[in-house]
């Protein structure tokens, strides 16, 4: 009985000491009895792992003309339907990652780069830019349309007008008057 009481007393002392030092009891006991030697890590391959030849065969299968554009899950399902099992879907993805082919497998359309039209003016009155902007009127709900034509070389306003409504006819008149 005395032995049991001594164990409780020691345990209470450990609890109090751990509270004071902000250390868990598990850490305390782990440090009292450290392991004799570190456990060796086994870096060997799993017994069910694919050999290098099998991995190469799976890679060739996934890059074949029939399966080149399909994701591994579909390749796996089609091969399983045909009664052939090579490896799991995740292993197929792993093999693709090893060969840097884990991205999009479908053929992508390639378009030539778009050429942005560039207008260059070497002197005044060669190239103009125009815009129509809504401008608030004197009262709420009243808007005017400001037409502006700008010379892109000098950045001067070559023509302008303010109208009550946007009109293609009025824009054409403004542009025609500019060229004369």
On whether residue 60 sits in a domain, the answer given is: yes
On whether residue 43 sits in a domain, the answer given is: no
Is residue 56 located within the same domain as residue 21?
A: no
Is residue 17 located within the same domain as residue 56?
A: no
Predicted confidence (pLDDT) per residue in 63-108, tens digit: 999 998 899 999 999 999 999 999 999 999 999 999 988 888 777 7
| The pLDDT of residue 76 | 95
Q: How confident is the model at residue 117 (pLDDT cuts 50, 70, 90)?
A: confident
If residue 8 lies in a helix (H) or strand (E), which one and from where to where? helix 2-21
Count of CB atoms situated within 10 Å of the CB of 58 = 22
Report the DSSP pairing between strands 157-163 and 143-151.
Answer: antiparallel
DSSP structural state of residue 126: S
Determine what percent of the chain is predicted with pLDDT higher than 70: 93
Number of domains composing the chain: 3
Is residue 24 located within the same domain as residue 61?
A: no
Please tell me whether residue 148 adopts helix, strand or coil conformation.
strand
On whether residue 104 sits in a domain, the answer given is: no
DSSP structural state of residue 118: -
On whether residue 88 sits in a domain, the answer given is: yes
| The pLDDT of residue 156 | 93
Predicted confidence (pLDDT) per residue in 46-60, tens digit: 778 889 999 999 999
Q: Name the pTM for this structure.
A: 0.41
- Two tokens at 60? 């060739």
Q: List 159's β-bridge partners, or say none.
A: 149
């Amino acid at each position: 009985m005395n032995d049991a009481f001594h164990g409780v007393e020691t345990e209470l002392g450990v609890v109090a000491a751990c509270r004071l030092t902000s250390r868990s009891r598990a850490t305390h006991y782990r440090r009292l009895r450290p392991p004799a030697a570190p456990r060796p890590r086994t870096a060997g391959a799993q017994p069910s792992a694919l050999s290098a030849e099998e991995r190469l065969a799976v890679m060739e299968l996934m890059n074949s003309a029939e399966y080149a554009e399909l994701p591994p899950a579909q390749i796996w399902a089609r091969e399983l339907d045909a009664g052939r099992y090579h490896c799991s879907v995740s292993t197929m993805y792993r093999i693709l990652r090893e060969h840097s082919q884990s991205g999009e497998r479908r053929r992508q359309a390639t378009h030539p780069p778009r050429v942005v039209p560039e207008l260059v003016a070497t002197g005044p009155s060669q190239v103009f830019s125009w815009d129509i902007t809504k401008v608030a009127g004197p009262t709420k709900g009243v808007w005017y349309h400001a037409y502006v034509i700008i010379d892109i070389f000098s950045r001067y306003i070559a023509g302008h007008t303010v109208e009550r409504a946007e009109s293609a006819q009025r824009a054409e008149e403004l542009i025609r008057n500019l060229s004369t």
